[in-house]
Structure 1
Amino acid sequence: MSTIEYLPLHQDHFARLLTLANSVHGDNYMDLPALQAYHQAGLVNNINASWVALDGERLVGFRITWAAGNWQTDKWCSPTLWGLPENQVCYFKCNTVDSQYRAAGIGSQMLKLSVREAAKQGARAGLAHIWMQSPGNSAFKYFTKCGGELIKEHPGKWQENCDNEGYVCPICGTQCDCVAAEMLLKFGQA
Protein backbone atom coordinates (compact mmCIF):
# COMPACT_ATOMS: atom_id res chain seq x y z
CA MET A 1 0.00 0.00 0.00
CA SER A 2 1.42 3.38 -0.96
CA THR A 3 1.10 6.60 0.99
CA ILE A 4 -2.47 7.66 1.66
CA GLU A 5 -3.36 11.30 1.05
CA TYR A 6 -6.24 12.91 2.97
CA LEU A 7 -8.16 15.75 1.38
CA PRO A 8 -11.34 17.65 2.20
CA LEU A 9 -14.26 16.28 0.17
CA HIS A 10 -14.62 18.11 -3.14
CA GLN A 11 -16.97 17.67 -6.08
CA ASP A 12 -14.07 16.20 -8.08
CA HIS A 13 -14.30 13.18 -5.74
CA PHE A 14 -18.04 12.59 -6.15
CA ALA A 15 -18.05 9.93 -8.91
CA ARG A 16 -15.38 7.82 -7.21
CA LEU A 17 -17.03 8.24 -3.81
CA LEU A 18 -20.41 7.06 -5.14
CA THR A 19 -18.82 3.97 -6.67
CA LEU A 20 -17.18 3.04 -3.37
CA ALA A 21 -20.26 3.88 -1.28
CA ASN A 22 -22.64 1.74 -3.31
CA SER A 23 -20.22 -1.17 -3.62
CA VAL A 24 -19.66 -1.32 0.16
CA HIS A 25 -23.08 -0.38 1.54
CA GLY A 26 -25.40 -1.77 -1.12
CA ASP A 27 -27.16 -0.57 -4.24
CA ASN A 28 -28.77 2.86 -4.04
CA TYR A 29 -27.08 3.67 -0.74
CA MET A 30 -26.24 7.11 -2.11
CA ASP A 31 -26.83 9.03 -5.32
CA LEU A 32 -25.44 12.27 -6.73
CA PRO A 33 -28.19 14.63 -5.48
CA ALA A 34 -27.89 13.16 -1.98
CA LEU A 35 -24.09 13.45 -2.04
CA GLN A 36 -24.30 17.07 -3.20
CA ALA A 37 -26.61 17.86 -0.28
CA TYR A 38 -24.40 15.92 2.15
CA HIS A 39 -21.36 17.87 1.00
CA GLN A 40 -23.12 21.20 1.54
CA ALA A 41 -24.25 20.11 5.01
CA GLY A 42 -20.61 19.64 5.98
CA LEU A 43 -19.59 23.21 5.14
CA VAL A 44 -19.62 26.20 7.51
CA ASN A 45 -17.60 29.38 7.03
CA ASN A 46 -15.42 27.69 4.38
CA ILE A 47 -14.58 24.90 6.83
CA ASN A 48 -15.22 21.41 5.42
CA ALA A 49 -15.83 18.59 7.91
CA SER A 50 -15.94 15.80 5.28
CA TRP A 51 -12.84 13.97 4.04
CA VAL A 52 -11.59 11.48 1.48
CA ALA A 53 -8.58 9.16 1.49
CA LEU A 54 -6.71 8.65 -1.77
CA ASP A 55 -4.10 6.15 -2.86
CA GLY A 56 -2.85 7.94 -5.94
CA GLU A 57 -6.01 8.62 -7.95
CA ARG A 58 -7.92 5.78 -6.29
CA LEU A 59 -10.45 6.91 -3.69
CA VAL A 60 -10.10 4.32 -0.92
CA GLY A 61 -12.13 5.92 1.85
CA PHE A 62 -14.43 8.75 2.81
CA ARG A 63 -16.05 10.29 5.87
CA ILE A 64 -19.09 12.50 5.43
CA THR A 65 -19.76 14.77 8.39
CA TRP A 66 -22.60 17.27 8.68
CA ALA A 67 -21.87 20.43 10.64
CA ALA A 68 -23.66 21.14 13.90
CA GLY A 69 -26.81 23.08 13.04
CA ASN A 70 -26.86 21.72 9.46
CA TRP A 71 -28.87 18.58 10.19
CA GLN A 72 -32.17 17.68 11.83
CA THR A 73 -32.74 15.07 14.51
CA ASP A 74 -35.37 12.45 13.76
CA LYS A 75 -37.07 9.54 15.50
CA TRP A 76 -33.74 7.67 15.47
CA CYS A 77 -32.08 10.32 17.66
CA SER A 78 -32.27 10.69 21.44
CA PRO A 79 -31.03 14.25 22.15
CA THR A 80 -32.27 14.17 25.75
CA LEU A 81 -29.64 11.48 26.40
CA TRP A 82 -26.70 13.35 24.83
CA GLY A 83 -25.92 15.79 27.64
CA LEU A 84 -25.29 18.55 25.09
CA PRO A 85 -27.51 20.96 23.13
CA GLU A 86 -28.44 19.68 19.66
CA ASN A 87 -26.83 22.71 18.00
CA GLN A 88 -23.42 21.67 19.41
CA VAL A 89 -23.49 18.18 17.91
CA CYS A 90 -22.36 17.42 14.36
CA TYR A 91 -23.50 14.27 12.56
CA PHE A 92 -21.14 11.62 11.28
CA LYS A 93 -23.22 10.54 8.29
CA CYS A 94 -20.95 7.76 7.09
CA ASN A 95 -17.44 6.39 7.10
CA THR A 96 -16.36 3.96 4.42
CA VAL A 97 -13.02 2.32 3.66
CA ASP A 98 -12.33 0.02 0.71
CA SER A 99 -12.02 -3.58 1.93
CA GLN A 100 -8.41 -3.81 0.65
CA TYR A 101 -7.41 -0.86 2.87
CA ARG A 102 -9.17 -1.68 6.14
CA ALA A 103 -7.28 -2.01 9.43
CA ALA A 104 -4.65 0.49 8.25
CA GLY A 105 -5.92 3.43 10.34
CA ILE A 106 -7.61 5.24 7.45
CA GLY A 107 -11.02 5.45 9.13
CA SER A 108 -9.51 6.69 12.37
CA GLN A 109 -7.46 9.35 10.59
CA MET A 110 -10.50 10.64 8.69
CA LEU A 111 -12.45 10.74 11.96
CA LYS A 112 -9.69 12.81 13.61
CA LEU A 113 -9.70 15.22 10.69
CA SER A 114 -13.50 15.53 10.78
CA VAL A 115 -13.49 16.11 14.53
CA ARG A 116 -10.84 18.82 14.18
CA GLU A 117 -12.80 20.66 11.49
CA ALA A 118 -16.21 20.18 13.15
CA ALA A 119 -14.77 21.66 16.36
CA LYS A 120 -13.62 24.71 14.35
CA GLN A 121 -17.24 24.96 13.15
CA GLY A 122 -18.43 25.05 16.78
CA ALA A 123 -19.34 21.42 17.51
CA ARG A 124 -18.50 19.84 20.87
CA ALA A 125 -19.48 16.29 19.91
CA GLY A 126 -20.54 14.14 16.99
CA LEU A 127 -23.40 11.67 16.66
CA ALA A 128 -23.34 8.56 14.49
CA HIS A 129 -25.68 5.70 13.72
CA ILE A 130 -23.34 2.73 13.59
CA TRP A 131 -24.23 -0.32 11.50
CA MET A 132 -24.21 -3.17 14.00
CA GLN A 133 -24.24 -5.80 11.23
CA SER A 134 -21.00 -4.60 9.65
CA PRO A 135 -18.59 -7.51 9.05
CA GLY A 136 -17.37 -8.67 12.46
CA ASN A 137 -19.26 -5.71 13.96
CA SER A 138 -16.15 -3.74 13.00
CA ALA A 139 -17.99 -0.39 12.77
CA PHE A 140 -19.13 -0.56 16.40
CA LYS A 141 -15.71 -1.75 17.59
CA TYR A 142 -13.94 1.00 15.67
CA PHE A 143 -16.21 3.81 16.87
CA THR A 144 -16.05 2.56 20.47
CA LYS A 145 -12.26 2.42 20.30
CA CYS A 146 -12.26 6.03 19.08
CA GLY A 147 -14.24 7.09 22.17
CA GLY A 148 -17.83 6.75 20.97
CA GLU A 149 -20.40 5.93 23.65
CA LEU A 150 -23.54 3.89 22.97
CA ILE A 151 -26.67 5.98 23.54
CA LYS A 152 -29.40 3.65 22.22
CA GLU A 153 -29.97 0.85 19.71
CA HIS A 154 -32.50 1.35 16.89
CA PRO A 155 -33.60 -1.85 15.08
CA GLY A 156 -34.85 -1.38 11.52
CA LYS A 157 -33.51 2.16 11.05
CA TRP A 158 -32.61 1.63 7.40
CA GLN A 159 -35.92 0.06 6.32
CA GLU A 160 -37.22 3.54 5.47
CA ASN A 161 -34.34 3.87 3.00
CA CYS A 162 -35.41 0.61 1.39
CA ASP A 163 -39.03 1.74 1.19
CA ASN A 164 -38.45 5.32 0.04
CA GLU A 165 -35.13 5.37 -1.81
CA GLY A 166 -34.74 1.89 -3.28
CA TYR A 167 -31.88 1.00 -0.93
CA VAL A 168 -30.83 -2.66 -1.01
CA CYS A 169 -29.07 -3.73 2.18
CA PRO A 170 -26.10 -6.01 1.43
CA ILE A 171 -27.29 -8.35 4.21
CA CYS A 172 -31.09 -8.13 4.28
CA GLY A 173 -31.99 -7.03 0.76
CA THR A 174 -35.06 -4.80 0.63
CA GLN A 175 -36.39 -5.88 4.05
CA CYS A 176 -33.67 -4.44 6.29
CA ASP A 177 -33.67 -5.51 9.94
CA CYS A 178 -30.19 -4.14 10.66
CA VAL A 179 -29.67 -2.35 13.97
CA ALA A 180 -28.29 1.17 14.20
CA ALA A 181 -26.34 1.99 17.35
CA GLU A 182 -26.84 5.66 18.15
CA MET A 183 -23.42 6.68 19.44
CA LEU A 184 -22.00 9.98 20.69
CA LEU A 185 -18.35 10.97 20.48
CA LYS A 186 -17.52 13.91 22.72
CA PHE A 187 -14.60 15.87 21.32
CA GLY A 188 -11.33 15.45 23.10
CA GLN A 189 -11.86 11.66 22.98
CA ALA A 190 -11.12 10.97 19.31
Structure 2
Amino acid sequence: MTEPKEKVLYRPMTAADHAAVIRLANEVHGDNYLNEESLADYAAKGTVGDVNLNWLAWLGDELIGIRLTFAPGTWPVDDQCTPEAWPVASDYICYFKCAAVAEQARGLGVGRGLLEHSIAAAKQLGCQAGLAHIWRQSPNNSAFSYFSKCGGELIREHKKRWYQLSVEEGYHCPVCDGVCYCTAAEMILPFKQTTAAAV
Protein backbone atom coordinates (compact mmCIF):
# COMPACT_ATOMS: atom_id res chain seq x y z
CA MET A 1 0.00 0.00 0.00
CA THR A 2 1.26 3.49 -0.80
CA GLU A 3 1.85 5.92 2.02
CA PRO A 4 -1.25 8.05 2.74
CA LYS A 5 -1.11 11.80 2.21
CA GLU A 6 -2.49 12.33 5.70
CA LYS A 7 -0.62 11.30 8.82
CA VAL A 8 -2.03 8.49 10.98
CA LEU A 9 -3.37 9.93 14.24
CA TYR A 10 -3.21 7.82 17.39
CA ARG A 11 -5.38 8.64 20.39
CA PRO A 12 -7.06 6.90 23.35
CA MET A 13 -10.55 5.50 22.79
CA THR A 14 -13.55 7.42 24.14
CA ALA A 15 -17.22 6.46 24.49
CA ALA A 16 -17.98 8.48 21.36
CA ASP A 17 -15.82 6.04 19.36
CA HIS A 18 -17.66 2.86 20.37
CA ALA A 19 -19.90 2.47 17.30
CA ALA A 20 -16.94 2.81 14.93
CA VAL A 21 -14.83 0.40 17.02
CA ILE A 22 -17.58 -2.24 16.98
CA ARG A 23 -17.95 -1.92 13.20
CA LEU A 24 -14.22 -2.34 12.51
CA ALA A 25 -13.71 -5.20 15.00
CA ASN A 26 -16.65 -7.15 13.57
CA GLU A 27 -15.50 -6.48 10.01
CA VAL A 28 -12.06 -7.94 10.79
CA HIS A 29 -12.88 -10.69 13.32
CA GLY A 30 -16.44 -11.75 12.46
CA ASP A 31 -20.01 -10.86 13.32
CA ASN A 32 -20.75 -10.17 16.99
CA TYR A 33 -17.10 -10.25 18.00
CA LEU A 34 -17.87 -6.98 19.79
CA ASN A 35 -21.18 -5.43 20.79
CA GLU A 36 -22.14 -2.42 22.90
CA GLU A 37 -22.19 -4.41 26.15
CA SER A 38 -18.88 -6.19 25.65
CA LEU A 39 -17.10 -3.04 24.47
CA ALA A 40 -18.33 -1.05 27.48
CA ASP A 41 -16.87 -3.80 29.69
CA TYR A 42 -13.58 -3.81 27.77
CA ALA A 43 -13.33 -0.03 27.95
CA ALA A 44 -13.71 -0.14 31.74
CA LYS A 45 -11.07 -2.88 32.05
CA GLY A 46 -8.64 -0.77 30.02
CA THR A 47 -9.00 2.41 32.05
CA VAL A 48 -7.43 3.10 35.44
CA GLY A 49 -7.87 6.68 36.65
CA ASP A 50 -6.67 8.88 33.81
CA VAL A 51 -4.60 6.08 32.20
CA ASN A 52 -6.28 4.59 29.11
CA LEU A 53 -4.79 1.43 27.60
CA ASN A 54 -7.28 1.35 24.69
CA TRP A 55 -5.93 3.11 21.61
CA LEU A 56 -7.25 3.93 18.15
CA ALA A 57 -5.65 4.89 14.84
CA TRP A 58 -7.36 7.35 12.51
CA LEU A 59 -6.67 8.50 8.97
CA GLY A 60 -8.63 11.71 8.58
CA ASP A 61 -12.09 10.89 9.91
CA GLU A 62 -11.78 7.16 9.20
CA LEU A 63 -11.03 4.65 11.96
CA ILE A 64 -8.33 2.32 10.61
CA GLY A 65 -7.07 0.50 13.71
CA ILE A 66 -7.94 -0.50 17.26
CA ARG A 67 -6.00 -1.95 20.19
CA LEU A 68 -8.00 -2.93 23.29
CA THR A 69 -5.92 -3.77 26.36
CA PHE A 70 -6.92 -4.76 29.91
CA ALA A 71 -5.16 -3.48 33.01
CA PRO A 72 -3.66 -5.96 35.52
CA GLY A 73 -6.25 -7.44 37.86
CA THR A 74 -9.16 -6.95 35.43
CA TRP A 75 -8.71 -10.12 33.35
CA PRO A 76 -9.01 -13.76 34.44
CA VAL A 77 -6.07 -16.13 34.64
CA ASP A 78 -8.12 -19.03 33.29
CA ASP A 79 -7.37 -22.61 32.22
CA GLN A 80 -5.96 -21.33 28.93
CA CYS A 81 -3.23 -19.42 30.71
CA THR A 82 0.12 -20.75 31.90
CA PRO A 83 1.24 -18.37 34.68
CA GLU A 84 4.10 -20.63 35.79
CA ALA A 85 5.77 -19.90 32.46
CA TRP A 86 5.38 -16.11 32.63
CA PRO A 87 8.47 -14.02 33.46
CA VAL A 88 6.57 -11.86 36.00
CA ALA A 89 3.44 -12.20 38.15
CA SER A 90 0.03 -11.35 36.68
CA ASP A 91 -0.05 -8.20 38.86
CA TYR A 92 2.49 -6.75 36.42
CA ILE A 93 0.96 -8.04 33.19
CA CYS A 94 -1.63 -6.31 31.04
CA TYR A 95 -3.76 -8.34 28.62
CA PHE A 96 -3.86 -7.53 24.92
CA LYS A 97 -7.49 -8.39 24.27
CA CYS A 98 -8.12 -7.27 20.72
CA ALA A 99 -6.44 -5.63 17.74
CA ALA A 100 -7.84 -4.92 14.31
CA VAL A 101 -6.51 -2.97 11.34
CA ALA A 102 -8.68 -2.09 8.37
CA GLU A 103 -7.69 -4.00 5.25
CA GLN A 104 -6.86 -0.85 3.28
CA ALA A 105 -4.48 0.32 6.05
CA ARG A 106 -2.39 -2.83 6.43
CA GLY A 107 1.31 -2.42 5.78
CA LEU A 108 1.46 1.10 7.23
CA GLY A 109 2.77 0.08 10.66
CA VAL A 110 -0.59 0.83 12.31
CA GLY A 111 -0.62 -2.38 14.39
CA ARG A 112 2.83 -1.70 15.81
CA GLY A 113 1.99 1.96 16.44
CA LEU A 114 -1.12 1.02 18.40
CA LEU A 115 0.81 -1.58 20.39
CA GLU A 116 3.53 0.92 21.31
CA HIS A 117 0.97 3.45 22.56
CA SER A 118 -0.82 0.80 24.61
CA ILE A 119 2.48 -0.40 26.11
CA ALA A 120 3.45 3.14 27.04
CA ALA A 121 0.15 3.52 28.89
CA ALA A 122 0.52 0.12 30.58
CA LYS A 123 3.98 1.06 31.83
CA GLN A 124 2.37 3.96 33.71
CA LEU A 125 0.54 1.30 35.74
CA GLY A 126 3.79 -0.56 36.47
CA CYS A 127 3.31 -3.28 33.85
CA GLN A 128 6.39 -5.22 32.83
CA ALA A 129 4.81 -7.45 30.18
CA GLY A 130 1.67 -8.08 28.18
CA LEU A 131 -0.13 -11.36 27.52
CA ALA A 132 -2.18 -12.23 24.44
CA HIS A 133 -4.01 -15.16 22.92
CA ILE A 134 -3.09 -14.79 19.26
CA TRP A 135 -5.44 -16.07 16.55
CA ARG A 136 -3.53 -18.85 14.78
CA GLN A 137 -6.00 -19.07 11.89
CA SER A 138 -5.72 -15.41 10.91
CA PRO A 139 -5.08 -15.02 7.15
CA ASN A 140 -1.54 -16.29 6.40
CA ASN A 141 -1.06 -16.60 10.18
CA SER A 142 -0.36 -12.86 10.06
CA ALA A 143 -1.38 -12.19 13.69
CA PHE A 144 1.24 -14.63 15.01
CA SER A 145 3.93 -13.29 12.65
CA TYR A 146 3.18 -9.69 13.62
CA PHE A 147 3.19 -10.33 17.37
CA SER A 148 6.39 -12.37 17.11
CA LYS A 149 8.12 -9.53 15.25
CA CYS A 150 7.05 -7.18 18.04
CA GLY A 151 8.84 -9.38 20.59
CA GLY A 152 6.07 -11.77 21.58
CA GLU A 153 7.24 -15.17 22.84
CA LEU A 154 5.14 -18.33 22.46
CA ILE A 155 4.15 -19.98 25.76
CA ARG A 156 1.80 -22.69 24.46
CA GLU A 157 -1.14 -23.27 22.15
CA HIS A 158 -4.77 -23.69 23.20
CA LYS A 159 -7.32 -25.36 20.93
CA LYS A 160 -10.89 -24.04 20.60
CA ARG A 161 -10.10 -20.82 22.49
CA TRP A 162 -13.20 -19.03 21.16
CA TYR A 163 -15.55 -22.03 20.98
CA GLN A 164 -17.59 -21.01 24.02
CA LEU A 165 -17.90 -17.44 22.72
CA SER A 166 -19.28 -18.75 19.43
CA VAL A 167 -21.70 -21.24 21.03
CA GLU A 168 -22.99 -19.15 23.95
CA GLU A 169 -22.63 -15.54 22.82
CA GLY A 170 -23.27 -15.67 19.09
CA TYR A 171 -19.76 -14.95 17.82
CA HIS A 172 -19.54 -15.93 14.13
CA CYS A 173 -16.01 -17.01 13.24
CA PRO A 174 -15.14 -15.94 9.68
CA VAL A 175 -12.73 -18.87 9.26
CA CYS A 176 -14.89 -21.66 10.69
CA ASP A 177 -18.06 -20.12 9.21
CA GLY A 178 -19.90 -20.11 12.50
CA VAL A 179 -18.92 -22.19 15.55
CA CYS A 180 -15.24 -21.49 16.19
CA TYR A 181 -12.64 -24.24 16.48
CA CYS A 182 -9.63 -21.93 16.03
CA THR A 183 -6.44 -22.28 18.05
CA ALA A 184 -4.94 -19.52 20.17
CA ALA A 185 -1.23 -19.05 20.74
CA GLU A 186 -0.66 -17.88 24.32
CA MET A 187 2.14 -15.35 23.96
CA ILE A 188 3.97 -13.06 26.38
CA LEU A 189 5.58 -9.79 25.38
CA PRO A 190 8.15 -8.58 27.93
CA PHE A 191 8.44 -4.79 27.96
CA LYS A 192 11.89 -3.40 27.23
CA GLN A 193 12.87 0.18 27.93
CA THR A 194 13.15 0.85 24.20
CA THR A 195 9.76 -0.69 23.29
CA ALA A 196 7.81 2.54 23.59
CA ALA A 197 10.64 5.03 23.17
CA ALA A 198 9.27 6.31 19.87
CA VAL A 199 5.82 7.07 21.29
TM-score bracket for this pair, using the shorter chain length: over 0.9
Are positions 1:110 and 2:114 aligned together?
Answer: yes
In the other structure, the counterpart of 1:37 is: 41
| Percent identity for Structure 1 against Structure 2 | 45
Q: Give CA-to-partner distance per residue, 1:132-155, whole Å, 9 cap, x none.
A: 111111100000000000001011
* Cα drift, residue 75 of structure 1: 1.3
**What CA distance in whole angstroms lies between the structure 1 residues aligned with 2:165 and 2:183?**
13
What is residue 135 of structure 2 aligned with on the other side?
131
Moved over 3 A (4+): none
Structure 1 stretch 170-179 or stretch 109-118: which is displaced more? Answer: 170-179
Cα deviation, residue 178, structure 1: 0.8
Which residues of structure 2 form unaligned runs of 5+?
none
Q: CA deviation at 1:175?
A: 2.6
The reply on whether 1:61 has 2:62 as its aligned counterpart is no
- Aligned partners of 1:138 and 1:3: how far apart in 2? 24
Q: Flag structure 1 segments of 5+ consecutive residues without an equivalent.
A: none
Size of the aligned set, in residue pairs, is: 190
Q: Distance in 2 between matches of 1:175 and 1:55?
A: 34
CA deviations on 1:54-75 (whole Å, 9 max, x unpaired) are: 1111111000000112211111
Superposed CA RMSD: 1.0
Query: Counterparts of 1:87 and 1:63 in 2: how far apart (Å)?
Result: 21
- Aligned residue identity for 1:165: E
Please name the residue that 1:94 is paired with.
98
The two structures have a TM-score, normalised by structure 1, of 0.97
CA distance in 2, matches of 1:43, 1:56: 25
Can you list the C-alpha shifts for 1:36-65, whole angstroms capped at 9, x where unaligned? 110110111210011000111111100000
> How far apart, CA to CA, are the structure 1 residues paired with 2:86 and 2:131?
9
Cα distance between partner residues in 1 of 2:75 and 2:182: 23
Aligned to 2:181: 177
Cα deviation code 1:112-159 (max 9, x no counterpart): 010010010111100001001111111000000000000010111011
Write the deviation string for residues 6-46 of structure 1: whole angstroms up to 9, x where unpaired: 01011111000100111110011010111011011011121
Aligned with 2:172 (options 152, 168, 171): 168
Kept after mapping to 2: 8 A contact 1:159/1:174: no
Superposition deviation, residue 174 in structure 1: 2.4
2: distance between equivalents of 1:169 and 1:45? 34
Any idea what SS the aligned residue of 1:113 has? helix
Task: Deviation per CA, 1:72-108: give whole Å up to 9, x if none.
Answer: 1111111111021111110000110000001110000
1:186 maps to 190
- TM-score by structure 2 length? 0.93
